[in-house]
Amino acid sequence: MNSTKEFYLMICFNVALNKPAYQQNQWKPDDDTYDASNAVDGRKSDLTWNGGQCAVSAARELAIWWVNLTSVHSIHHITIYFLTDTMPSIFNTTCPVHGQYVIYYNERETGVIYPHGYQKYVDADICEVEVYACQNGFYGEGCSEISNDTCTGCNNINGSCDSGCLQGWKGGFCHIASCIRDQVTLANLQDTVSTPKE
């Protein structure tokens, strides 16, 4: 494994792993084989319908599954693994937002004509949801860029300081030093400035 890949793994990590999850209309509600938490347990070796590693819902007009990340994260990208034989079986999306909840939502509205091949009902058969966030202080492709340490909150895509700057810094990237009003007084200057001798 090259050092770049190792570095990537340390600074961009799955913040959904083992977090609280919920789904509406679970298939066999009292059977953990189909529980919402299966989609955030890190297991992906058996992605079949009854393999016990997927969150499976009953077919209805509405399918919702969500995970609570338990705190706000600077989300970089999301990867969703679906049941075996689902097209696509893996879905990836860049998602440059700050958030605490990731929600999978699908519906069939009454009165809407859907394209040929769409089913009358939907379900949320999700085997794993991985929500990757940049570690604080990193941003960019693969969270590989280091942000300015004068930021109070770095944008995980472009490194700008979305949440502001530390005291004494300004600018979109907190890269411009700024004087703090009343920090330097005349008395302080007189103590530190010497008068040239004649």
pLDDT in tens, the chain (198 residues): 444 444 444 477 899 999 999 999 999 999 999 999 999 999 999 999 899 999 999 999 999 999 999 988 888 899 999 999 888 899 999 888 888 999 999 999 999 999 999 999 999 999 999 999 988 788 877 778 888 889 887 887 788 888 889 999 999 999 999 875 555 544 444 544 444 554
DSSP run (H or E) holding 189: helix 186-192
Contact 13/77 with Cβ under 8 angstroms? no
pLDDT at 182: 53
pLDDT at 186: 46
CATH topology assigned to domain 3-136 = Jelly Rolls (2.60.120)
pLDDT at 86: 82
Nearest to 82 by CA among 128, 122, 32, 36: 128
Contact 125/57 with Cβ under 8 angstroms? yes
pLDDT at 1: 44
The pTM (predicted TM-score) of the whole model is: 0.73
Which residues touch 108 (CB under 8 Å, ≥6 apart)? Answer: 61, 62, 114, 118, 119, 120, 121, 122
Give 154's strand partners.
161
CA atoms of 43 and 39, how far apart (whole Å): 8
- Site of tokens 């393999």: 51
Query: Helix or strand or coil: residue 4?
Result: helix
- Site of tokens 């298939």: 27
CA atoms of 10 and 188, how far apart (whole Å): 46
Give 77's strand partners.
94, 132
pLDDT at 181: 58
Query: DSSP label at 85?
Result: T
Contact 137/144 with Cβ under 8 angstroms? no
